A and B are shown apart, each in its own frame.
Chain A
Amino acid sequence: MDALSLLAGGFADALTPANLLWCLVGVVLGTAVGVLPGLGSSMAVALLLPLTFLLEPTAAFIMFAGIYYGGQFGGATTSILLNTPGQSSSIVTAFEGYAMARSGRASQALAAAVLGSFVGGIVATTVVAFFAQRMVAFALGFGPAEYFALAVLAFVSTVAVITSAPARGVAALGVGLALSVVGIDDQTGAVRMTLGVPQVLDGIDIVVVTVGLLAVGEVLHCGFRPDGAPADRVIASGAPWLSRADLRRSWLPWLRGTAVGLPFGVVPAGGAEIPTFLSYGMEKALARRRGNSEFGRGAIEGVAGPEAANNATTATAMIPLLGLGLPTSATAAVMLAAFQQYGMQPGPLLFEGDADLVWALLASMFVGTVLLLVINLPFAPLWARLLRLPRRHLYAGLVVFATVGVYAAKGSVFEVGLLYAVGAVGLLMRCHGIPVAPVLIGVILGPLAEGELRRAMAAGQGDPAVLLDSGIALGLYALMLAGVAIAVAAALRARRRTPAPDAENPPVAAP
């Protein structure tokens, strides 16, 4: 197949010393922006985009790839060390990664994340290089009904798998969906749930919600804890390398995460969040089945799988971007802007018209992935030492960076106030033992679910049957029912083992 020779040509263009240097600069700068809490890969790409315009196209794209992967890793780093994801696709990484960091395994979590990104990125970029043109056809098969089914699948798996108490999961998901409704309805222009505050007409930003719930809520909760957590205590950063046992536990999650992530980049479903959540749920369910689950206490599988899924998705997101001109994530949208800056119009003709640049870009994605591994794996223990700061400084710094990150992104004090308010909600939820993850899923996927539902109903002239009139949608619902059945069966089995009925787990219908 001539894709190989074309790719070889791309590598020949990309692998010059000067380009490698730009890639290196990109990785370092991207990581530096990414480790600022609240600023992730899309922010890194957006902030550093003007810099790449100083270069000729090939060098610019290779630096771009470096920035992107660096930002991605930086976002995962803050997730793990500070419980503050830089982008919504790193939210899941925070769950187990932060638990690992707390128990002195920060370096291992970082290494599992880097290697997971590497595996996901390499496999997915290979797929993109060889199958891009064919996968575009698959993506075109997704209509409103399929997207709605996808969102419902994510909601149900959130409540049934990620959280252990469905009532609390529903409560949290409801808060998220309520937040997602705020602002101007983009289909009719109706003003919804703003309580008369003009600043939220554009909706409540996911960055504000994420950083507020996870970072600010965490700091407030730390101050609120009754046992007077010793604020000067330092968290041990632990031994620096992945042990053989860690590797044995990680390699399958890496591959599974990659497999989960691959198809999702192709369908424009709001980025890499769904596959990370699905991968997390899958690893958690598998660990529970094996009976040695460390989930909740820092399971390396919960970092390895989602990070691989995340990077696999973002790499395959290049398929709709290049093939259809359709950006499926914030980062892809910025990249689209970059393409247009160089006079390239992504779409079916791109592979013919600008073949040299496309293959150089694909080659530079390989190079960026490898460089990230080479540069950041040795630095994982170094980043982990961040945890040796006195805790009161770490937490105060967290609030400072959360504040300045939100202020920089939105440019208004009101948004900072909103950030603190969301942090207070996060405190309230933590005090009641309500998980915050479903809130984020609700905020991210709420608009997708609602918009596609309404679009489907409009297309079907108000007939709900249109939602089931598709093989892909039916398959997704079947998957959902099977998952719920397994979860219910597992819960029943657990209940039979412990005779006391569990008042916290009423069998509520999932949304």
Chain B
Amino acid sequence: MTTTGPDAPASAPTAPPTAPDAPPAPRTRATLGVAALTGATGVLLLLGGALIREPAASGYLGPRFFPLAVGALLVATALASAAWALRPAARRAAAAAPAPAPERGDRRTLVVMAATLAGHLLLLQPLGWLIAGTLLFWGISTALGPRRPLLDLFVAAALAGVVQMVFSGLLDVPLPAGPLGGIG
């Protein structure tokens, strides 16, 4: 996040601005991507809403109404947005104007992170917080900067220990103990 400097466009409040590397006709494609996401959410809502089993006494607007209404609205928005982007005038403008495109990023870092998260989910109960939490911290920090793995491992173990003490000791929130439970 440090890389988005003060000159970044103020497009969205939280989402960082996307990198301005430009594949062909990027603007149209970006808009279509958003429209596709909107439409997919809408279809999901329509399908999910249609599958709801409505109880006999549901009043005037039953449990189906809201998901179906929002779903329909989203599909309509997606279609309008796609049609708008595919107008000839918009396409000409899009071809002329440079625009943000979906990023293509560093797959390796992401794969290490995803593996770390998945591993943590699997190991949290069997190994306990101290070990699984240490691995979690270590995996993420190594994915982001693999230069000093030993220091990271030390920090990870220390932080996991502090968290364990604060949550189990002070706040009385039990974390999974794992095989180390008998010791501490």
Seen from chain A, the residues whose Cβ lies within 8 Å of a Cβ on chain B are 33, 47, 83, 94-96, 98, 102-103, 162-165, 167-168, 170-171, 174-175, 177-178, 181, 185, 187-193, 195, 214, 218-233, 235, 293, 295-298, 390-393, 395-397, 399-401, 403-404, 407-408, 413, 416-417, 420, 423, 428-437, 450, 453-454, 457-458, 461-462, 500-504, 506, 508-509, 511
Contacts and interface: CB of A to CB of B under 8 A. Distances in A.
A408 B175 CA distance: 7
A293 B9 CA distance: 12
B63 A511 contact: no
19 contacts: A47-B171, A164-B12, A167-B35, A171-B37, A174-B42, A174-B45, A178-B67, A188-B57, A188-B62, A190-B62, A224-B105, A297-B10, A392-B152, A393-B141, A400-B137, A433-B30, A450-B66, A501-B90, A503-B84
Nearest to B21: A226
A397 B137 contact: yes
A193 B60 contact: no
A433 B27 CA distance: 12
B128 interface: no
B80 A508 contact: yes
B183 interface: no
Contacts of A501: 89-90, 93
Interface of B: 1-4, 6, 8-19, 21, 27-28, 30-31, 33-35, 37-38, 41-42, 44-45, 48-49, 52-55, 57-63, 65-67, 70, 73-74, 76-78, 80-81, 84-85, 89-91, 93-94, 96-97, 99-100, 102-106, 109-110, 112-114, 117-118, 120-121, 124-125, 129, 133, 136-145, 147, 152, 155-156, 159-160, 163, 167, 171-173, 175
Given A432-B33, A434-B34, A500-B93, A404 B167 contact: yes
A387 to B, nearest CB: 10
Contacts of B27: 503-504
Contact of A223 (B4, B19, B144): B144
Contacts of B106: 223-226, 228
A225 B105 contact: yes
A178 to B, nearest CB: 5
Nearest to A192: B52
B144 A231 contact: yes
A223 B110 CA distance: 6
A456 B33 CA distance: 37
Contacts of A450: 66
B52 A416 contact: no
Nearest to B47: A193
A396 B11 contact: no
Contacts of B70: 174, 177-178, 181, 511
A190 B89 contact: no
A175 B48 CA distance: 13
B11 A171 contact: no
Dominant secondary structure of chain B at its interface with chain A = helix
Contact of A434 (B15, B61, B136, B143): B15
Nearest to A439: B14
Contacts of B37: 171, 428, 432, 434
B48 A192 contact: yes
A175 B100 CA distance: 22
Given A393-B152, A461-B60, A296 B13 contact: yes
Nearest to A460: B60
B17 A433 contact: yes
A293 B10 CA distance: 10
A219 B167 CA distance: 23
Contacts of B44: 178
Nearest to B17: A433
With most chain B CB atoms within 10 A of its CB, the pick from A235, A408, A461 is A408
B86 to A, nearest CB: 9
Contacts of B105: 223-226, 431
Contact of A192 (B63, B124, B152, B171): B63
Nearest to A39: B171
A95 B13 contact: yes
Contacts of B61: 453-454, 457-458
B62 A504 contact: no
A397 B67 contact: no
Contact of B59 (A428, A457, A504): A457
Top 6 A-B pairs ranked by shortest CB distance?
Answer: A296-B10, A506-B84, A231-B145, A435-B12, A224-B105, A392-B144
A433 B15 contact: yes
A113 B77 CA distance: 37
Given A174-B70, A503-B93, A229 B2 contact: yes
Contacts of B78: 171
B58 A178 contact: no
Given A191-B53, A396-B144, A457-B60, A296 B9 contact: yes
Given A47-B171, A171-B38, A450-B66, A392 B19 contact: no
B4 A102 contact: yes
Contact of B12 (A163, A229, A404, A417): A163
Contacts of B142: 392
Contacts of B124: 407, 413, 416
A170 B77 contact: yes
Contacts of B15: 429-430, 433-436
Contact of B121 (A296, A297, A416): A416
A190 B31 contact: no
A193 B67 contact: yes
B67 A181 contact: yes
A314 B133 CA distance: 35
A190 B109 contact: no
